[in-house]
Structure 1
């Protein structure tokens, strides 16, 4: 009997302990989730909306896919390459921009439409042509042809006058010149790949580096593979600028990490890299130089000779600031003598008061204008279209 009593007492004690633990646990849980209204923060509607917006901006992240040593802010991103504007599209856009500022053509049309022109009128025509940098020789030729044609046709009809002027200007611009850029790679005597190599030259301030970056975009838009050479080693900013242009369209840039390094060595390595990658085109930038500095001009000749040890230099493009007018002519002559210019790139041709330089520089050098720039946008460079240029002047 006593043993039975002990067992009953033990069971009662255990049950009492269990009931006590359960009650304590329930009380603690109740205390844990109970909010003291006196200390509860009040959240305004504005704060709630701000929190909602912050939560939406962060989104939801799966912690299992985030590595411990990489934060969200520092995660590397894959660069998105730009797709440059197509050549036909930019031609149309640049032609429209040129037409909006066709001051030379408008002035000539206005004078020629007066009818029976006096000598004062012809003097005004000559002044207009010279102010537009057409050049004295070309201006004389144009005026003589205009006099003859207007007398032969004997009309003051604006449309007829416009057609006469269009024909004469187009003849001076010379649409028969080959304006294509040689971008077809070849094969050397040793059977090795030879990229089409382009050397770009000019004086300080004409925008050579920017022009090369824009030219790379033109080539990429035509599905050409390209390597750029930063042989302007006197300005670290020039190499950095070229690298930025290249990164935007996925084009490699060969440069030196040493400021003032031998530019010919950089040009040599750029062509060598183009051969290794078997790209279509290699374009090499050079430092701006004054045409009256013999040492710098000799160095330019050296750069070209060194490049040709890797592959023939197919094109030498001279970049000219169209706003410099007649000063560009002396530049062009000297550069042509040193490195043999094959084409002209006219930058800043967004005011056609200087549009006559197209005629003048071609007559002076006997080489065509191949590209024109009409703005600061990345795709504001296009192949030169003689017919479109003349039509824009007279529109």
Structure 2
């Protein structure tokens, strides 16, 4: 396979390498023990590899897919040495990520509308969902910074009105990045905030609107109703919005991130994912499992606390760093 005939931007790649260091070290420590004393990939090695992948938060179903792919390689090639296992894993995981269309972009950008799409007008609207504490507000701030750096005009909307801290935190990020924030008082109707945000953005001829929403999962029906109302109200201002519903997940929570993804995909149509806090954890394998299991593209990953450390997810770069 020719997955890795790529030249990566050195600065971004160095940050990614550093951000995945804990995950990589943990994984290869386990992999080394799994193949210790073995020269051939046999059933015992595959059983051990399965355990390594599951314990690395890749997830059971995705692990089984990877093992099946490697079994097929073993059957076809008759003899595979354990020294080849690293490159085989690298190729098969990249292939798996390719099937979900995860990680095709290399920089922050918004899709250009088809030339024949009647009635399309700016702005491009991203509605951000996710439970409190996953890094949602920080992700929005870093997205705004990156989009502004690319020359886009950005407007933020503080529709998480159930926590005063959420509004205040987003204001800090808006001030830091230098973009306008539309907000109301705590306890206001989130849909009203979304309506005002889009109205303001249209008036300002903005390119991108990013709207924060409440991160509550105590009642899926209420969450569903609230997000549906926010969408419906936004569509009164700009047709067919939001263009993207971005779910933010905390990669350091491992399997809990899977559960959050299940809850939110049941409550609303999620179209993309951001996986944060990968630099402080050995659970980076969760990116592979979530991308595969939910068939939703991973768009961004957080690999550090710096404003530049939210990266557009690129599967080639990610797998190359993980198996470097």
Q: 3-state DSSP class of the match of 1:289?
A: coil
| CA 1:134–1:233: 2 relative to 1, 3 Å | same
Deviations 1:216-258 (A, max 9, x none): 11111211110000111122222121112112222000001x2
| Equivalent pair of 1:322/1:348 in contact (CA under 8 Å) | yes
| CA 1:192–1:325: 2 relative to 1, 3 Å | closer
| Equivalent pair of 2:41/2:79 in contact (CA under 8 Å) | no
Q: 3-state DSSP class of the match of 1:313?
A: coil
Q: Does 1:240 align with 2:168?
A: yes
Q: CA shift at 1:281, angstroms?
A: 0.1
RMSD: 2.8
- 1:256-267 to 2 correspondence within 5 Å? 256=184, 258-267=185-194
Q: What corresponds to 1:164 in structure 2?
A: 88
Q: 3-state DSSP class of the match of 1:354?
A: coil
| Equivalent pair of 2:272/2:299 in contact (CA under 8 Å) | yes
Deviations 1:281-323 (A, max 9, x none): 0000011111644223311221122112212210000001112
Q: Which runs of no fewer than 5 residues in structure 2 stay unpaired?
A: 1-7
Q: What corresponds to 1:341 in structure 2?
A: 270
Deviations 1:183-213 (A, max 9, x none): 25779x9979420000000112111111100
Q: Which runs of no fewer than 5 residues in structure 1 stay unpaired?
A: 1-86
Q: What corresponds to 1:91 in structure 2?
A: 12
1: CA distance, partners of 2:25 / 2:219: 33
Q: CA shift at 1:329, angstroms?
A: 2.2
Q: 3-state DSSP class of the match of 1:353?
A: coil
| Equivalent pair of 2:20/2:284 in contact (CA under 8 Å) | no
Between 1 and 2, higher relative CO (CA 8 Å, sep ≥ 6) is seen in 2
- 1:1-395 to 2 correspondence within 5 Å? 91-101=12-22, 102-103=24-25, 105-107=27-29, 110=32, 111-112=34-35, 114-117=38-41, 119-150=43-74, 152=77, 154-156=79-81, 158=83, 160-174=84-98, 177=101, 179=103, 180=105, 183-184=110-111, 193-256=121-184, 258-290=185-217, 292-311=219-238, 312-351=241-280, 353-395=282-324
| CA 1:242–1:232: 2 relative to 1, 3 Å | same
| Equivalent pair of 1:103/1:352 in contact (CA under 8 Å) | no
Q: How many residues align?
A: 307
1: CA distance, partners of 2:96 / 2:121: 39
Q: CA shift at 1:144, angstroms?
A: 2.5
2: CA distance, partners of 1:106 / 1:117: 16
| Equivalent pair of 1:185/1:196 in contact (CA under 8 Å) | no
| CA 1:218–1:119: 2 relative to 1, 3 Å | same
| Equivalent pair of 2:161/2:187 in contact (CA under 8 Å) | yes
2: CA distance, partners of 1:148 / 1:297: 42
2: CA distance, partners of 1:283 / 1:93: 28
2: CA distance, partners of 1:352 / 1:391: 18
